[in-house]
Structure 1
Amino acid sequence: MPASDLTVRPLVAASELDRFLELSYVLDDELADDLAAGRRRPEWMWIATRGTRVLARASWWSSPGAEGPGVLDFFDVDDTLPPEEGVEVGFELLSAAMKAIFPEGATPPEYGRFIPPSWREDAAARQVVETRFAVLERLGARQLVERLRLEWRAGTPLPETSKRLTFRPVSDREELVDLMVPVLEGTLDAHSGADLERMTPREAAEKQHDEEFAGFDSPREWWQVATLDSGEAVGFVIPARNIYNAIIAYIGVLPAHRGHGYVDDLLAEGTRILAERDVPRIRAATDLPNVPMAAAFQRAGYVNFERAVNFTWETA
């Protein structure tokens, strides 16, 4: 059936959430709270229907009070459709929604999706993922990175406390930015690498602090600098809570101290700080190519429960 017989529109109001939920995704249980808190708006939540049937949906998320959407984190197609038709339906939905939401010439925000760890080996899961990829690429997006999503679960033995480093809270924004700047040297993180293509390391560090870390409402005292007995800084770790989970937001080892396994000490300290708050789980993520960081999480008892992919559009 041609995609031209579709009705593509935003939700009229939050009361239409049930229509949006006719398709499913792992974050569905967050939608009602997100709408109530202003992290989503009906005009950012779109559906494509044929008759009474919802065939595709998309939604953008942002911080409450933001002027516009911050990330595209829902994009689903009815996967009972033949693959070619699914791509056409998804394209019709997403292209119409983007045209309505974003001014002409504006760069759309990043797309992110959680996917099964073994999606390449599972034929059905692979088709689901590749349908979405095909739509995004047709709309001019490119894959930035695939990431491992990791989780430490309550009851997992805690890694040992460091016997060779001393920890103290980060003193202020300037100290953290000063530490982040050299850590960005040789980074294996794709998002940081993309930032460094268009800004200086200090600008990239300030951006990440101000746009990400400053939004955490957990105590800043949790953010720790690791030092040697001499007081020299080795690195830092940022354990925190975002809106949904306890997280290890960032771990950085200064270039002069790499190669000594200090990442294990930093991760152990961050994990301990959060575990002492009786959290049911601690979430973290690292890029698939960052094999050393993934190995550190595994040694600390974290399991890879999911993956994530991120697509971006070229800056206009």
Structure 2
Amino acid sequence: MTPAPQELTIRPLTDPQELALFQQLSYVFDHEFDDDLTSGRRRPEWMWVALRGERLVARLAWWTNNGETPLLLDVFDLDDTVPEPERGEAGLRLLETATAAVVPAGAPRPEYGRFVPADWREDPAAREIVEARIRVMERSGARMLVERLRLEWRAGTPVPEDGGRLRFRPVADREDLLALMTPVMEGTLDAHGQADLASGLTAREAAEKHYDEELAHYRTPRAWWRIAELPDGRPVGFVIPARNNYNPIIAYIGVLPDQRGHGYIDDLLAEGTRVLAAQDDVVRIRASTDLGNVPMARSFARLGYVNFERSFDMVWD
């Protein structure tokens, strides 16, 4: 007779010294946890475990960029040697218990983001691991918002020289950029932008939200940000090269609706890549784009960016 499983213990970490316990399961962020805890991007009370005796069977953690409130559930791991339905039940109990303790009642639940292998659908083992987590999230009421390509330019990859058909200037200030972000938001292929518009935000409000919640937090020079113009001064679009807490990135690219269809996306991406590649010790530049944004994905491919991974975001309505 198979013995009954031990009672499940669900709790947060008591202090950073318990990180070794948390890392009994693994994920691509493991090497970042020490620095994230030191910097305040994570807190022990936002890092939860589900234990059977001394064995870690599930874990989760939230992340932030402001140190005050959890903004993203970006770690959710299950012991994949545990069979279903026990594996899923442990994960669901952990998710519901930790969320009730960490997210204030009535507050929106931070979305769930997960990095997955680029070929996760073709690899049966990887697919089961990914889908096990999706099943738990769906049982908690979440839905899939978007799957994204994660892309990487690597040092040594040629970058086209400026062909001269556009003029690039630094972004002057917040309003200078928002004046272009607003029309770009109309008809956007970005799932998060579409969700903001569907929620009732105007294009201007959605642009302000994107600026204030993401772009404003980059500490790298605003002088890197570029607006592209035609020789006669008419704006074409913009590119935001930056560095987040982990890598140089292409944070945002936009082409104005009346300038689309001329291949300007390649000029913007090349300019952003040149800005970052010119900095000291840059070995890679990261970027991402929605799976459904085919024009953007093709531009990254033309510029030599490699699709090394995918990600998905799930949300609670």
TM over 0.5: yes
In structure 2, the gaps of 5 or more residues are: none
Match of 1:197 in 2: 198
Please give the secondary structure, in 2, of the residue aligned with 1:55: strand
In structure 1, the gaps of 5 or more residues are: none
Offset at 1:64?
Answer: 4.0
1:55-94 aligned at under 5 Å gives the runs 55-66=57-68, 68-94=69-95
Give me the whole-angstrom Cα distance separating, in 1, the residues matched to 2:315 and 2:49.
Answer: 22
Give me the whole-angstrom Cα distance separating, in 2, the residues matched to 1:215 and 1:64.
Answer: 8
Mark the CA change 1:123 to 1:2 in structure 2 (over 3 Å): closer, same or farther: farther
Count of matched residue positions in the alignment of Structure 1 and Structure 2: 313
CA contact (8 A) 2:22 2:59 kept: yes
Give me the whole-angstrom Cα distance separating, in 2, the residues matched to 1:152 and 1:33.
Answer: 25
1:57-136 aligned at under 5 Å gives the runs 57-66=59-68, 68-136=69-137
Offset at 1:185?
Answer: 1.6
Please give the secondary structure, in 2, of the residue aligned with 1:149: strand
Give me the whole-angstrom Cα distance separating, in 2, the residues matched to 1:2 and 1:25.
Answer: 29
Offset at 1:208?
Answer: 0.8
Q: What's the % identity of the aligned pairs?
A: 62
1:25-36 aligned at under 5 Å gives the runs 25-36=27-38
The partner residue of 1:45 within 47, 50, 69 is 47
| RMSD of aligned alpha carbons | 1.2
The partner residue of 1:280 within 271, 278, 283 is 283
Q: Deviations over 1:113-156 (max 9, x none)?
A: 00001101101100110010000000001010000000000111
Give me the whole-angstrom Cα distance separating, in 1, the residues matched to 2:314 and 2:46.
Answer: 18
CA contact (8 A) 2:193 2:206 kept: yes
CA contact (8 A) 1:37 1:64 kept: no
Give me the whole-angstrom Cα distance separating, in 2, the residues matched to 1:18 and 1:139.
Answer: 28
Offset at 1:65?
Answer: 3.1
Mark the CA change 1:3 to 1:200 in structure 2 (over 3 Å): closer, same or farther: farther
CA contact (8 A) 2:143 2:314 kept: yes
Task: Supply the AA of the counterpart residue of 1:102.
Answer: V
Match of 1:188 in 2: 189
Task: Supply the AA of the counterpart residue of 2:249.
Answer: I
Match of 2:307 in 1: 304
Match of 2:180 in 1: 179
The partner residue of 1:239 within 241, 246, 253 is 241
Task: Supply the AA of the counterpart residue of 2:137.
Answer: L
Give me the whole-angstrom Cα distance separating, in 2, the residues matched to 1:194 and 1:225.
Answer: 26
Give me the whole-angstrom Cα distance separating, in 2, the residues matched to 1:4 and 1:102.
Answer: 28
CA contact (8 A) 1:162 1:269 kept: no
Offset at 1:105?
Answer: 3.0
Task: Supply the AA of the counterpart residue of 1:122.
Answer: D
Task: Supply the AA of the counterpart residue of 1:263.
Answer: I
Please give the secondary structure, in 1, of the residue aligned with 2:304: coil
Match of 2:264 in 1: 262
Match of 2:293 in 1: 290
Please give the secondary structure, in 2, of the residue aligned with 1:310: strand
CA contact (8 A) 1:60 1:69 kept: yes
Range moving further from structure 2, 39-48 or 158-167: 158-167
Offset at 1:103?
Answer: 2.7
CA contact (8 A) 1:3 1:85 kept: no
Offset at 1:101?
Answer: 1.1
Give me the whole-angstrom Cα distance separating, in 2, the residues matched to 1:287 and 1:49.
Answer: 36
Task: Supply the AA of the counterpart residue of 1:108.
Answer: R
Task: Supply the AA of the counterpart residue of 2:286.
Answer: R
Q: Deviations over 1:25-45 (max 9, x none)?
A: 011000010001111111100
Offset at 1:109?
Answer: 0.4
Match of 1:7 in 2: 9
Give me the whole-angstrom Cα distance separating, in 2, the residues matched to 1:258 and 1:64.
Answer: 35
- Normalised by the length of structure 1, the TM-score is 0.97
CA contact (8 A) 1:143 1:311 kept: yes
CA contact (8 A) 1:170 1:225 kept: yes
Give me the whole-angstrom Cα distance separating, in 2, the residues matched to 1:45 and 1:11.
Answer: 6
CA contact (8 A) 1:14 1:35 kept: yes
Q: Deviations over 1:239-289 (max 9, x none)?
A: 001111100001110011100000000000000000001411100000001
- Normalised by the length of structure 2, the TM-score is 0.96
CA contact (8 A) 1:169 1:221 kept: yes
Q: Deviations over 1:140-195 (max 9, x none)?
A: 01010000000000111112323200100011100100100111121110001111
CA contact (8 A) 1:40 1:62 kept: yes
